[in-house]
Amino acid sequence: STVGKVITCKAAVAWGPKEPLKVETITVDPPKAGEVRMKVNFTGVCHTDAYTLGGHDPEGLFPVILGHEGCGTVESVGEGVDHVKPGDVVIPLYTAQCRDCKFCRNPKTNLCQKVRATQGAGKMPDGTSRFKCGDKELFHFMGCSTFSEYTVVAGVSVCAVNPQAPQDKVCLLGCGITTGYGAVLNTAKVEEGSTVAVWGLGAVGLAVVMGAVKAKASRIIGVDINPGKFEVAKQFGCTDVVNPKDYDKPIQNVLVDMTDGGLDYTFECIGNVHTMRAALEACHKGWGESVIIGVAASGQEISTRPFQLVTGRVWRGTAFGGYKSRDSVPKLVEEYLAGDMKLDEFVTGHMPLTEINQAFEDMHAGRALRTIIDL
Ligand code: APR
Ligand code: ZN
């Protein structure tokens, strides 16, 4: 048994910004009190990984093991961890849920702050790292670091899910899909018969479409500058698709005309401050709500005329779909297993860890929805 011992395994290490990931032999220390060591079996590759690797995150730390959309099995647990046990199928959660902090006690938010500071500093809650490559200590990432065969996560940052679940699919519930789906169902609480528009038809945008279908929206308009995204968007349930490049007026004006005054709900799933503005201004006067999901680059600012808000439009944002993570992710897994939620349709390819740089390239090129790395 490996319990209590240092594990030697493979991981894709990001040695510095803009450098390709390098598969290295690393060591993973045993979990300390309150921690969980897990074998990662599958991980998605997400924009936040690319953003940090690209050196765009001013708080990015190197060398680091990236990855935060994973699924695997518990290898061992530290003292005091009783909600997961060795062998459990688990999903790491970059939005923790301690059930004790001011945020966890407030039903209006999912932004647990328990491990926020150390997670942001690339460390475990005690301020140290469990990873080494040779003598060199490696930073953790988003409390997950799933681009490694083994990782250690805080107990508050992991949940057990139904062991019947296909791990190469439910890993996606660790980030993008949950984020888009929850934005519709938790954050906006879209009502039956509502009109919805979605900017960006990548995995996050399609998850919004899936949520809007679930909420029985009457009209779901997909907006993207890549017409290659339209076919799958219609399969997911978009009733209309619009390419802003086909018009010589602002896309918000096009949508307002298409919808007799604007939409009930809009969602921005790109991370571009200009499309955030368009999404707000495409909302119906008096009640339209726009939800920001995409993460804009550091230092960017949004703007609009205050009159847009004075006249009743609402601008809001959401992280991890507003889901309190440990309470919700196991339920989403059940929803998928019951056939009530798509996940398979988001997986556009599988690759071994050795080809992870290719997965980043495919994401940048807009070829992939989600590539799953098999560890
Ligand atoms: N107008 C309309 N569509 C755009 C524009 C634009 N100005 N710019 C980009 N797009 C489209 C792209 O063509 C692509 O289809 O937005 C889509 C974004 O999809 P992905 O790149 O696959 O991203 P996704 O994984 O869905 O994540 C979306 O959410 O995680 C956050 O900020 C992060 O950028 C990421 C966003
Ligand atoms: Zn908390």
Phi, psi (5° rounding) for residue 193? 85, -5
The rounded distance, in Å, linking the Cα atoms of 272 and 117 is 27
User: Which residue ranges have their beta carbon within 6 Å of ligand 1?
Assistant: 47, 176, 199-205, 223-226, 229, 244, 269-272, 275, 293-295, 366
The rounded distance, in Å, linking the Cα atoms of 302 and 269 is 15
For residue 340, the Cα-to-chain-centroid distance in whole angstroms is: 20
Q: Tell me whether residue 116 is one of the annotated catalytic residues.
A: yes
| Residue having the nearest C-alpha atom to atom 17 of ligand 1 | 200
Residue 53 confidence (pLDDT): 93
Residue 178 confidence (pLDDT): 97
* DSSP 8-state secondary structure symbol assigned to residue 19: P
Residue 322 alpha carbon to ligand 2 centre in Å: 14
What is the three-class DSSP state of 185?
helix
Residue 213 confidence (pLDDT): 98
The rounded distance, in Å, linking the Cα atoms of 5 and 30 is 6
Instruction: Name the nearest CA neighbour of 147 among 307, 295, 317, 357.
Output: 357
Which amino acid is it at 39?
K
- Which one of the ligands is nearest to 206 CA? 1
Residue 366 confidence (pLDDT): 85
Residue 102 alpha carbon to ligand 2 centre in Å: 7
> What are the tokens at 250?
């602002």
Contact 277, 286 (CB under 8 A): no
Contacts of residue 344, defined as CB under 8 A and 6 or more positions apart, other chains included, come to 169
| Residue having the nearest C-alpha atom to atom 11 of ligand 1 | 200
- Which one of the ligands is nearest to 277 CA? 1
Secondary structure (DSSP) of 280-301 = HHTBPTTT-EEEE-S-PPTT--
Contact 232, 257 (CB under 8 A): no
Q: Which residues pair with 146 in a beta bridge?
A: none
Contacts of residue 300, defined as CB under 8 A and 6 or more positions apart, other chains included, come to 273
Q: Tell me whether residue 361 is one of the annotated catalytic residues.
A: no
Q: How many residues does the chain have?
A: 375
Does 330 sit behind a cis peptide bond, omega within 30 degrees of 0 on the bond before it?
A: no
Residue 268 alpha carbon to ligand 1 centre in Å: 9
Pick the catalytic residue from 71, 104, 171, 238.
104
Q: Tell me whether residue 370 is one of the annotated catalytic residues.
A: yes
Q: What is the largest CA-CA distance in the chain?
A: 66
| Residue having the nearest C-alpha atom to atom 3 of ligand 1 | 224
Residue 330 confidence (pLDDT): 98
Residue 57 confidence (pLDDT): 86
Instruction: Name the nearest CA neighbour of 30 among 78, 88, 89, 67.
Output: 78
- Which one of the ligands is nearest to 324 CA? 2
Pick the catalytic residue from 37, 47, 284, 326.
47
The rounded distance, in Å, linking the Cα atoms of 214 and 340 is 9
Q: Tell me whether residue 171 is one of the annotated catalytic residues.
A: no
Residue 279 alpha carbon to ligand 2 centre in Å: 31
Is the pTM higher than 0.80? The answer reads: yes
Q: Tell me whether residue 37 is one of the annotated catalytic residues.
A: no
Q: Which residues pair with 71 in a beta bridge?
A: 42
Contact 363, 45 (CB under 8 A): yes
- Which one of the ligands is nearest to 360 CA? 1
Residue 191 alpha carbon to ligand 2 centre in Å: 29
Secondary structure (DSSP) of 95-164 = S---S-SHHHH-TT-----TTHHHHHTTS-TTS--SEEETTEEEB--TTT--SBSEEEEEGGGEEE--TT
Q: At what angle do helices 251-258 and 273-281 cross, to 10 degrees?
A: 30
Q: Which residues pair with 165 in a beta bridge?
A: none
User: Which parts of the chain sit beneath pLDDT 50?
Assistant: none
Which amino acid is it at 351?
M
Residue 323 confidence (pLDDT): 98
| Residue having the nearest C-alpha atom to atom 20 of ligand 1 | 202
Residue 58 confidence (pLDDT): 84
Among 270, 272, 369, residue to substitute to test ligand 1 (most atoms within 8 Å of Cβ) = 270
